[in-house]
Amino acid sequence: MTPLLKTSLLVPLLISLVVAAPAPLQAKDKQPKQMMKIGDEVVSLEIGNAFARAQQHVSRKEYDQASEILKSLVESAPNVAPIRYKYGFALLQQGKDGDALTQARKCTEILPSFAEGWSLVGEASINLHKDEDAKAAFEKSLALEPKGDNADIVRDRLNELSGQNNDAPVEMTSDPKIDEQNRAKMKINQALTLCSNATKLFGQKQFEKGLQACRDALKIAPDATIVKESFVTYLNNYAAVCVGQQKLGQAEGLIKQAIAFQKDGGVPTNTQLKTLNNYKRLLDFTGRTAEATKVETQIRSLSATGVTR
């Protein structure tokens, strides 16, 4: 399956300070109690602050530290769906697919209307080779939230699940054309398996190994759009990690690789635009305004066409 590296299932859950007024009979005796909101859930100030720390670790891709905090929060507040969701997401990035699925399912039990919780069920199910469960979860997520970036990702995942069966045997026939089609399908399936492995390696912070897996996938199926998109997406996400680590030179090198690769064609327009936007942000951040302006011109030109190159 295509690695879900575009934002992925990570949803920014807003945290805000609220004040819970005491009961009327106690109003004279007690001060208002400070609470916090995680999404629509009201929690104690202590839990809210801990959750905020966990979110910071997740944003820095420090999943071990995030999981440690979130595991404690799940024990303290077992019925807060956003905490279950974020814990499951962190576990997924660590390659702990079974534990991630457990948290994702609990999240949807607590809050069945939480679309991202269903998306997480789907992603963990794919990694555990439970494709039918994944399809049902993604369909539920899409029904709850048919618009937005995550909806586009979920729709792509559903299309892949419906249109491709990586485990289907390739049968040889007496028709050379059909045999050639079957061999091509087998190659794409092998490439997609490598892309899936790249996703897991990325979550385990084995970035170079993941990048090599993407390159190996390209060698097997160099003309497959889905493999090309996975490669460019991986480069963008790896670059984001480097920016977080203040390795700006390495980040720029990765983005330039993506730009050079997608110029050869076969990469969807929306993915090309994300690469260019990432490059512009990096140039702006480093104060290279003139170069950023040139990239902005490319972005406008590509946006105007709306056509995959």
Do 81 and 200 belong to one domain? no
Q: Count structural domains, the chain.
A: 2
pLDDT, mean of residues 19-38 = 55
Q: Is residue 34 part of a domain?
A: yes
Do 159 and 182 belong to one domain? no
Quickly state the pLDDT bin for 149 (edges 50, 70, 90): low
pLDDT, mean of residues 137-143 = 90
Q: Note the pLDDT tens digit of each residue in 218-273.
A: 998 888 888 899 899 999 999 999 998 899 999 999 999 999 999 988 888 888 99
Beta strands in the chain (DSSP E): 15-20, 33-38, 41-44
CATH number of the CATH domain containing 53? 1.25.40.10
Distance CA 305, CA 309 (A): 9
Q: Is residue 10 part of a domain?
A: no
Do 22 and 146 belong to one domain? yes
First-to-last C-alpha distance (Å) of the chain: 23
How many degrees, rounded to 5, is the angle at CA 188 between CA 187 and CA 194?
95
How many degrees, rounded to 5, is the angle at CA 231 between CA 226 and CA 233?
90
Q: Note the pLDDT tens digit of each residue in 188-229.
A: 888 888 888 888 888 888 899 999 999 999 998 888 888 899
For 184, the domain range is: 178-305
Distance CA 88, CA 279 (A): 31
Do 48 and 140 belong to one domain? yes
Do 224 and 255 belong to one domain? yes
Q: Is residue 6 part of a domain?
A: no
**pLDDT in the model for residue 291:** 95
Distance CA 112, CA 81 (A): 9
Do 158 and 188 belong to one domain? no
Q: Which long-range contacts (CB under 8 A, 24 or more apart) does 106-113 make?
A: 107/81, 108/81, 110/79, 110/80, 110/81, 110/84, 111/81, 113/144
Do 151 and 20 belong to one domain? yes
Do 219 and 98 belong to one domain? no
Identity at 200, one-letter amino acid code: K
Encoding tokens for residue 179? 């045999």
Overall pTM > 0.75: no
Encoding tokens for residue 138? 């993604």
Q: Is residue 173 part of a domain?
A: no
Do 204 and 157 belong to one domain? no
Q: Is residue 212 part of a domain?
A: yes
